Amino acid sequence: MSEISHEQVRRIILQRLESLARAGVTGLPRLSRPGEASRPGEAIREGEAPAEPAPRPGEASREGEASREGEAPAEPAPRPGEASRSHAHPAARHPPVRASRTATTGSLFSPEPAMPRRESLSREERVTALAQVCGEVAACQRCTELAATRTHTVFGVGNPLPRLVFLGEAPGADEDAQGEPFVGRAGQLLNKILDACTLRREDVYILNILKCRPPGNRTPTPHEAENCREYLLRQLAILQPEFLCCLGAVAAQCLLETTTPIGQLRGRFHQFQDIRVMATYHPAYLLRNPGAKRATWDDMKMLLREMGIELPPR
């Protein structure tokens, strides 16, 4: 068996600590020495704001470099009365096998739980549970190529008690560098969409189908989507959102396990477990096709109406 170098150990530990910090963990329990009781006050301090990932020496944010969202394949805008010509994501043509590899199968956070009632988990319980899954993601090696080429895993960020979750496809270059979803150009547009909806990033939770960047920003393979689905399902079981907005064809088709084009999925509600799901165009597509912004805004207004959120008069 090949030996692991000190540098590899240092990198794995650093990644894991950064992932835990992004999940909201700002302290770790102190290990008890033999004969010494652990002190509850030194346990994980859940509920504190997640730390912003500090840029690493010599690594500036690569805003000038197109993110995955900025490089996503264009999704053709549907014409009135015409089905979208966008093709289904390959992962949706091979419906993912519902994962059962978790070591916690049968627990509250097993991948296919009967969804507990929304009130059943406190903020602290959610933060702790998310940190647990986040730690597993940070160490995940299921997709050999992705695990070998990623800089950071990108777990997700936001409110652990969200009414609304946004689901994207996979990290891009900016996200891989910073360990946070939607921080590139497409992320800036998502921020503007949220602002128009009178929402802030910290009001919602943002996550992706894949937690690792596909090299060269290629489309996730069906196998990768299958591998990562367990983590997504566990995140949703913990977050228990009322509403979820899929951003783009890959997110919508993977979640809903369908090959229906995004042009036909958008503009109406779907059901995933007990979550009301809206699908709309990916912000990257909107950057390339500004004419589709109106359709996306219509989708967002429909979502807000369903959530009971009134927009101020313009």
Interacting residue ranges for ligand SF4, rule: CB under 6 A: 137, 140, 142-143, 146-147, 153, 210-212, 224, 227-228, 231
Choice between 37 and 103, CB closer to ligand SF4 = 103
Dihedral angle over CA of 295, 301, 305, 310, nearest 10: -170
Q: Which is nearer to ligand SF4, 126 or 234 (CB)?
A: 234
d(CA 28, CA 16): 12
Q: Measure the CA–CA gap between 174 and 157, rounded to whole angstroms.
A: 15
Alpha-carbon gap, residue 251 to 172, rounded angstroms? 14
The residue among 140 and 252 lying less far from ligand SF4, judged by its C-beta, is 140
Which CB, 146 or 207, lies closer to ligand SF4?
146
Instruction: Give least dist CB 175 to ligand SF4, A.
Output: 12
Q: Please, what is the minimum distance in Å from the beta carbon of residue 154 to ligand SF4?
A: 9
Nearest in space to 128 (alpha carbons), one of 16, 41, 50, 46: 46
Q: Which token pair is 155?
A: 């777990």
The smaller minimum CB distance to ligand SF4, of residues 18 and 224, is found at 224
Least gap, CB of 127 to ligand SF4 (angstroms): 20
**DSSP labels for 129-189?**
HHHHHHHHHHT--SSHHHHHH-SS----EE-SS-SEEEEES---HHHHHHTSSS-SHHHHH
Shortest distance in whole angstroms from residue 229 CB to ligand SF4:
8
Please state the closest distance from residue 6 (CB atom) to ligand SF4, in A. Answer: 23
